[in-house]
Amino acid sequence: MTTPALYDTQNSPFERMLRELPLQPLSVFFSDKASLEMAPVQFSEVLFHGDPLSADIQATFPVLSHQHRGILGSRKGTPVTGKNIAVFFSGGPAAGGHNVIVGLKDILGDHNRLYGVKAGPKGLLAGDLFEITDVSGIRNTGGFDFLGSDRTKITTSEQFEKVRHWVSHYKLDGIVVVGGDDSNTNAAFLAEKLSDLKCTVVGVPKTIDGDLQVWPWVPISFGFDTATRIYAELVGNILKDTPSSRKYWHFIKLMGRSASHIALEVALQTQPTMTLISEEIAARAHSLDIIVTDMAKGVLRRAMLGHAYGVVLVPEGVIEFIPDVAGLMGELNEIMGDSEAQALVVGARHAYVVGHLSADGKQAFLSLPEVIQTKLLMDRDSHGNLQVSQIPSELLFVESIAAKVHVIQTNPRAFFSDLSEKDLAALAKFLFTPLTHFFGYEGRCGAPSRFDAAYTYNLGLAAGSAVVQGLTGHMVGITDMATGGRAVALPLTGLIHAERRHGKTSYVIKKALVTLDSPAFQSFAAHRDAWALGDCFSSPGPRQYTGPLSQLMPLSVALNQGYASSVYHLGV
């Protein structure tokens, strides 16, 4: 049986619709509004409101640090021709990457050549480039599949020599690096090493984690909006499920590595019962037991109100922010990094580890649920470290809270004052029924939200402008997102600081974590007590591509930037 008309290969009706949506370029990219001809903007210097570069940064980037160091606004540029520009993706996919390429292609036009580098930095080392001629098929689509990506770091002189070889081979005038904090750090070093070849390097801020932000110039990295909208729909659906089936506590781990931006944004959009923010946990220096006791009491307070259900958001990296657990993990990494320990079969590691831990470490280790103890004894990466993503932190909380709920139920008056007979009866009959989820990969390659589609297209236009202008070692951004948008380029050396990693100093872009005095966190903190007891759940629904609901930016961006609403306004 054949089934024409119902579906076809690689072109769902949805993808066809996406490609036809308008791209919302900023007006500054039109050389002439009437003709709709595009031309690169010229970035012009503006006073930089940052600290002067330290001596070690100047020593690390001898060429870049002598460049103009302004926050750069934009004004009309003139068309440029004959340039060869390459672009590659680096690291995990994020929605909108394809539109960066569409923007580059549109701004470079037919009189410059755009190369795509296949499979990320690895492809650049291998000289695996092809000329990009037609971008109509990838317009507004999700994924990084047009080029592919990888996580190779270009750091050795041998690697830089390879890149220099291909830059000369392809006569490249510029390279656009689409990546997160590490990839943009890499872009700075690449810019430094290629400066004598007159090949510029420009970075584009990508990461669903949202931990690459430079207020107010780069309010957020691209991909964050789409990922959080996808997760927020699912969390909203599960929140709706709880008062429908009235029996489950859902523990939802959200991707985002160290930073809790994703958890915070999803919480603002959905108003769940509880949300852990790693940065707050670190700041308060509460032990796991204090956190778990608080959460178990929260669970039981709801039980007394007749709500035997709830939803808890857990940021992926939370474990590293709980002081006693972090301390334990540090000790474990040292003990397990030992070759003697590595040689042990997994079954023999428990006794070995308990014998080598400090008194505090031993207590912390043995107080953990068994399933977590086992996970902590697993094989390590090449640095002897355990990947945080391998630790099921959602399970850590489920198991610990289940145990604590039982303790409290056994002796409730030790934990709550003023319990009525009705409260006691409710506590006694409450059954804690937890379920766990992990939302991560499903948020990286969704079709970009209209916000991410417009943002990335303009980032592509800005990156193309910067690279042909001869700017190097800069990262582009779009600011003023509620009022038409403004293209900027930031010197990467201004974002890089010294950090101790594995016992030596590295120069890296500082990760933007959630700050507790930020408007987004403050807003969350002001509302969460109400969310904990009432059923204030909000359902943000699936991303819409037409109508007013399609023109929204992340709530945390709107709050942190001080915009009056979360409606974005980019372009003409």
Binding test (CB under 8 A) with its own copies, winner from 244, 382, 410, 411: 244
Task: Please identify, using beta-carbon distances, which residue of 187 and 445 lies nearer to its own copies.
Answer: 445
Dmax over CA atoms of the chain, in Å, equals 82
Task: Please identify, using beta-carbon distances, which residue of 30 and 545 lies nearer to its own copies.
Answer: 545
Q: How far apart are CA 404 and CA 432, in angstroms?
A: 11
Q: 3-state DSSP call for residue 470?
A: coil
Binding status of residue 537 toward its own copies by CB under 8 A: yes
Tokens found for residue 344: 């042990």
Binding status of residue 236 toward its own copies by CB under 8 A: yes
Q: How far is the CB of 468 from its own copies (least distance, A)?
A: 27
Tokens 């030790």, located at residue: 414
Across 206-305, the runs of DSSP E, i.e. the strands, are 249-254, 274-275
Binding test (CB under 8 A) with its own copies, winner from 128, 182, 241, 294: 241
Q: How far is the CB of 75 from its own copies (least distance, A)?
A: 33
Binding status of residue 564 toward its own copies by CB under 8 A: yes
Query: With CB under 8 A as the contact rule, which of the stretches 199-207, 359-367, 473-481, 517-525 interacts with its own copies?
Result: 517-525
Task: Please identify, using beta-carbon distances, which residue of 446 and 491 lies nearer to its own copies.
Answer: 446
Residue of 528, 299, 502, 555 lying closest to 402 (CA atoms): 299
Binding test (CB under 8 A) with its own copies, winner from 60, 74, 99, 149: 149
Tokens 């430094």, located at residue: 192
Q: Which of 106, 173, 181, 209 is catalytic?
A: 209
DSSP-derived pairing of the beta strands 41-46 and 71-76: antiparallel
Query: With CB under 8 A as the contact rule, which of the stretches 56-64, 141-149, 154-162, 257-265 interacts with its own copies?
Result: 141-149
Query: With CB under 8 A as the contact rule, which of the stretches 351-359, 463-471, 479-487, 529-537 interacts with its own copies?
Result: 529-537
Binding status of residue 2 toward its own copies by CB under 8 A: yes
Binding status of residue 9 toward its own copies by CB under 8 A: yes
Binding status of residue 516 toward its own copies by CB under 8 A: no
Q: How far apart are CA 41 and CA 63, in angstroms?
A: 24
Question: Can you say whether the dihedral through the CA atoms of 404, 235, 511, 499 is positive or negative?
Answer: positive
DSSP string of 291-337? HHHHHHHHHHHHHHTT---EEEEEETTGGGGSHHHHHHHHHHHHHHH
Q: How far is the CB of 172 from its own copies (least distance, A)?
A: 24
Residues from 106 through 125 that contact its own copies (CB under 8 A): 119
Answer whether 339's CB lies under 8 Å from 384's CB.
no
DSSP-derived pairing of the beta strands 310-315 and 274-275: parallel
Residues from 203 through 232 that contact its own copies (CB under 8 A): 230
Binding test (CB under 8 A) with its own copies, winner from 69, 105, 302, 444: 444
Residues from 248 through 277 that contact its own copies (CB under 8 A): 248, 250, 268-269, 271
Query: With CB under 8 A as the contact rule, which of the stretches 142-150, 212-220, 374-382, 483-491 interacts with its own copies?
Result: 142-150
Q: How far is the CB of 402 from its own copies (least distance, A)?
A: 15
Q: 3-state DSSP call for residue 517?
A: coil
Tokens found for residue 429: 């009959």
For its own copies (CB under 8 A), the number of binding residues is 82
Task: Please identify, using beta-carbon distances, which residue of 283 and 530 lies nearer to its own copies.
Answer: 530
Q: How far is the CB of 519 from its own copies (least distance, A)?
A: 6
Tokens 């009022």, located at residue: 483
Binding status of residue 347 toward its own copies by CB under 8 A: no
Q: How far apart are CA 369 and CA 365, in angstroms?
A: 9
Answer whether 332's CB lies under 8 Å from 386's CB.
yes
Binding status of residue 283 toward its own copies by CB under 8 A: no
Residues from 306 through 335 that contact its own copies (CB under 8 A): none
Q: How far apart are CA 354 and CA 348, in angstroms?
A: 11
Task: Please identify, using beta-carbon distances, which residue of 71 and 100 lies nearer to its own copies.
Answer: 100
Q: How far is the CB of 83 from its own copies (least distance, A)?
A: 27
Can 209 be counted among the known catalytic residues?
Answer: yes
Residues from 447 through 486 that contact its own copies (CB under 8 A): 447
Task: Please identify, using beta-carbon distances, which residue of 139 and 444 lies nearer to its own copies.
Answer: 444
Task: Please identify, using beta-carbon distances, which residue of 248 and 352 lies nearer to its own copies.
Answer: 248
Q: How far is the CB of 90 from its own copies (least distance, A)?
A: 12
Scanning 83-222, the segments in alpha helix (DSSP H) are: 97-108, 121-126, 157-169, 181-194
Task: Please identify, using beta-carbon distances, which residue of 329 and 445 lies nearer to its own copies.
Answer: 445
Output phi, psi for 271, to 5 deg. Answer: 60, 55
Determine which helix (DSSP H) or strand (DSSP E) holds 174, and give its type and residue range. strand 174-179
Residue of 233, 244, 254 lying closest to 308 (CA atoms): 244
Residue 235 burial (C-beta neighbours within 10 Å; 0-12, 13-18, 19+): buried
φ/ψ region of 262 (left if φ > 0, alpha if ψ in -120 to 50, else beta) reads alpha
Binding test (CB under 8 A) with its own copies, winner from 559, 560, 568, 571: 559
Binding status of residue 14 toward its own copies by CB under 8 A: yes
Query: With CB under 8 A as the contact rule, which of the stretches 8-16, 180-188, 276-284, 494-502 interacts with its own copies?
Result: 8-16
Binding status of residue 128 toward its own copies by CB under 8 A: no
Binding test (CB under 8 A) with its own copies, winner from 22, 62, 243, 470: 243
Task: Please identify, using beta-carbon distances, which residue of 43 and 451 lies nearer to its own copies.
Answer: 451
Residue 539 burial (C-beta neighbours within 10 Å; 0-12, 13-18, 19+): middle
Binding status of residue 548 toward its own copies by CB under 8 A: yes
Answer whether 17's CB lies under 8 Å from 545's CB.
yes
Tokens found for residue 297: 């009491």
Question: What is the CB neighbour count within 10 angstroms for residue 440?
Answer: 17
Binding test (CB under 8 A) with its own copies, winner from 58, 237, 374, 515: 237
| Residues known to be catalytic | 209
